[in-house]
Structure 1
C-alpha cells in the first residue's frame, strides 16, 4: 500500500527533473519555484479523495446504468488484444474528458473548482497535480465511466491509466518539445501550455487531454506556430495554500469572480 503515491512521485522526480533541466522551455525557472511546496502537498494528498470519489462514481454507474448494457458487449470488447483496447480507450476517454473539461470552463459554478488548476503561474510537471478533487473526480469520471460500462479489460484500463497520468505530467512540464506534424493528432506540452495561457486569444481553447484532433473537430484548437505563452494564470484572486484552495469554490464570492475562463482566463 502506498496511499501517498511516494514511489510514483519519486519516479516522476527522477524522470522529469533531469528532462526539464536539459530541455527547459524557461531555463530561468527554478525547481523550487513559486508554490512548489503547495503543489507538492497536492501530489501527496490528492490521490486519496480522488481515488475514493472515482471508485464511488464508477461503482454507482456500473450498478445502475451498467445493468442495461448487454453482457456480450463486455465479452466482445475485452476479448480484443490489449493494445487495441488501449487505443480505443484513449479515444473514448478523451471525448469524455473534452466534454467535461469544456463544461468546467463554461459553467460558472464548475469554473470555480477548475480555476484552482488555472491559478498555476509557473508550469512544470509538479504543477499538473494542482487540481481540486471535485474537478478531478468529475472529469475523470467522464473519461472512465464509459470505459467501465463497455467492459474493457482490467489490464487495458490499468495501462491506459498509466499513460494518462504520465502524459498529463508531460503536458505541464517545463520543456520545449517539437513533435512535428503529430501535434495535430496528439496533445503536446505546447498545446496544453496554450490552454493555461493568460492571453485573450487562447481562452477556452485546447480542451483535449491526449488527442488534440478533438479540438480541431470542435473548433477549439489554438496552436500558433512554434510560439509559447508569455504568462499563465487567472485574474481572479485565488488563495495560495492547499486548504484555502480546497475551500475556495465553496465560499460565496463577488460576481466579478463568478465568471468562467472566457472572462477570467
Structure 2
C-alpha cells in the first residue's frame, strides 16, 4: 500500500514539476502548453480568414467555455487526477501480472528500437488511432458512457476549441483501453511520440473549426471539418442508431467499417443531440450531469 501512496505523491509532484518546465520553456520540442496555444491561434486565424459559416461570430457561442475546457482537460485535469490515477492503475495491473509470473513485456510483439523510427511511429499512430476509433464508438453505444460524452456533443456552434470540450471521464476510458495495445507494440520515446500527439491536436482542431475543407482525395484518409460536422449532427439518418463518422484523426476506419456519412456539405445543419435543450450550459453542472442524470432515472 505504501508503494501506491508514494506513487501517487510522486505522480503529483512529477507532473507539477513538468508543468513548471513547460511554462518556463524548459521543455522545448515537446512543449505541449505553448504548442497548444500556437496551434489554437493558427487554426483560429484560419477560421477568421476562411470562415465556412460566415454569419457565425468569431467569438461564437460558448467560445470562452471551450477555451476553459481546452486548458482544463489538457493540463489541469492531469494535475488533479489523471496522471496519478493512470500511473496507479498501470502499476496495479503490472503487479497483478507479476504475481502470476508475467509482465507487460511478456506480450510485447516487437522492440520498436529494432525498427526504423518512422515505421515505429507509424505503427504507434495507426494502432492508437484505431483503438481510439473503437473507444469513440463505445462512448456512443453504451448509455453509461454516452452520458459523459454528451458534454462534447452539447456544442451548438463548431469552432477549434470544441475539440477539447469533454468530461474528465473520457480520457480515463481512452487511456485504459489504449494501455495494453500500446504496451504490446513496445516502448516509445516520449519526444518521438510528441510528433504524433501534435499532429492529432492539429487534425482535431481543424475537424471542429469553422472551415469548409475536406482535403480532396485525402478525405478518405484524414478526418476533416466537412466529415466531422455530421458526427455532431442533431438529426441522425434513419438507418443509424448510435452515430456516424467516429474517426478522430483518420477517416479511413469509417470508410472501411461503413460508418461514414456525408450526404451533403452539412454547412448549416443543427448540432447537438435529442433533448439537448435541457442540457446544462455551465462547466460545473456539465461535469456533474452524469451523476444527476442517473439519480433522475
Q: Does 1:224 align with 2:263?
A: yes
Contact 2:280 2:286 in 1 (8 A): yes
Matched residue SS, 1:31: coil
Q: How does 1:8-87 map to 2 (within 5 A)?
A: 8-46=35-73, 47-50=75-78, 51-52=82-83, 53-61=85-93, 67-70=103-106, 73-75=109-111, 77-87=112-122
Matched residue SS, 1:200: coil
Mark the CA change 1:146 to 1:14 in structure 2 (over 3 Å): closer, same or farther: same
In the superposition, the TM-score normalised over structure 1's length comes to 0.84
Q: Distance in 1 between matches of 2:252 and 2:37?
A: 32
Give the Å deviation of 1:59. Answer: 4.7
Q: Distance in 1 between matches of 2:186 and 2:148?
A: 31
Number of matched residues? 254
Mark the CA change 1:197 to 1:69 in structure 2 (over 3 Å): closer, same or farther: same
Q: Distance in 2 between matches of 1:150 and 1:64?
A: 20
2:177 to 123, 142, 157: 142
The ranges of structure 1 where at least 4 consecutive aligned residues each deviate by more than 4 angstroms after the TM superposition are: 3-6, 53-66
Give the Å deviation of 1:97. Answer: 0.7
Higher mean displacement: 114-123 or 36-45:
36-45
Q: How does 1:186-197 map to 2 (within 5 A)?
A: 186-197=222-233
2:129 to 94, 114, 138: 94
User: Where in structure 1 are there 5+ consecutive unaligned residues?
Assistant: 256-265
Q: Distance in 2 between matches of 1:86 and 1:147?
A: 11
2:290 to 227, 249, 254: 249
In the superposition, the TM-score normalised over structure 2's length comes to 0.76
Contact 2:214 2:225 in 1 (8 A): no
User: Where in structure 2 are there 5+ consecutive unaligned residues?
Assistant: 1-17, 24-31
1:171 to 198, 201, 207: 207
Over the residues paired in the alignment, what is the CA RMSD in angstroms? 2.5
Give the Å deviation of 1:11. Answer: 1.0
Q: Distance in 2 between matches of 1:57 and 1:176?
A: 41
Structure 1 counterpart of 2:4: none
Higher mean displacement: 7-16 or 35-44:
7-16
Higher mean displacement: 90-99 or 51-60:
51-60
Q: Does 1:212 align with 2:251?
A: yes
Structure 2 counterpart of 1:260: none
Mark the CA change 1:64 to 1:172 in structure 2 (over 3 Å): closer, same or farther: farther
Q: Distance in 1 between matches of 2:95 and 2:261?
A: 40
Mark the CA change 1:56 to 1:178 in structure 2 (over 3 Å): closer, same or farther: same
